[in-house]
Amino acid sequence: MFRAINILSLMLVSHFALATPLVVPYTERAPSIDGLDNDPQWQAAAWRPMDQLMVGSMPDATDFSGEYRLLWNEKALYLQAKIQDDVLFDSHANPLTQYWDDDALEIFIDEDASGGDHQYNYNAFAYHVALDNQAIDIGPDQKPHAYNSHIQSRWQRQNDGEYYLIWEVAITLYGDDYQDGADNQPVSLTPGKIIGFMLAYCDNDGSAEREHFVGSQAITPVNGDKNRGWIDASVFGKIQLKKP
């Protein structure tokens, strides 16, 4: 059993190390984080699907479907997601309580693309961005914390014959030397930089727990479990920053 687990771990690390990064285009001017798809900068970025099931059953497209695109400059990584979700649900007033069971956009970031364990450390982050735009992850003390200084978020409903959300986020990146309560300096992004990245959506239509968890990355299950992103950054995809 020990040997089998080690072989599986090596396969996951190997896949992570060899995966071809998705190219992210540069924008000199940051897009407005306002939940409106009206910034011309976004036209340079390709839409990518969110169609990989990690928890629950695969929802019908009218229940949930999603796609996203990315831009970058020296200050931040910029994300725009188009989300169709027929029920927006957030049952917990405390943003630190069962935040994974409310509707949320989950952004996985491994600043140096090193992969590996990040369950209770800052080797990588798994930001659960809630409907109130607060970003929650687990700290080294094994308790949830708000990392709202890392994430600027805004979504708005749109309607062009069907209702959907445009959700826009500016993500400030921090390295694995991040410490709670310290004077942490964000990482300045540079051309050619490779970052571990994955995007997912927690979808709950009114239950005690989320019914669906769908993301951008195919994950090899461990003992039948695909919900590995909050533990192991090796299951993230990779992006590479490109500048003309």
Q: Who's near 8: CB < 8 A, 6+ residues apart? A: 220, 222
Number of domains in the chain: 1
d(CA 202, CA 219): 16
Domain that holds residue 26: 2-242
- List, for residues 55-94, the tens digit of each pLDDT value: 999 999 989 999 999 999 999 999 999 999 999 999 988 9
Q: Which residues pair with 241 in a beta bridge?
A: 24
Query: Is the predicted pLDDT of residue 154 greater than 90, yes or no?
Result: yes
CATH code of the domain in which 207 resides:
2.60.40.1190
Say what the pLDDT of residue 161 is.
75
Query: Taking CA 177 as the corner, what is the angle to CA 172 and CA 181, rounded to the nearest 5 degrees?
Result: 75
pLDDT tens-digit map of 174-215: 999 999 999 999 999 999 999 999 999 999 999 999 999 999
In terms of pLDDT, which residue wins out, 54 or 11? 54
Whole-angstrom distance, CA of residue 234 vs CA of residue 219: 10
Phi, psi of 23 (to 5 degrees): -80, 130
Provide CB contacts within 8 A for 216, sequence distance 6+: 48, 49, 50, 51, 52, 68, 198, 199, 200, 237
Q: The whole model's pTM is what?
A: 0.91
Check pLDDT > 50 for residue 159: yes
Instruction: Show Cβ contacts of residue 185 under 8 Å, excluding neighbours closer than 6 positions.
Output: none
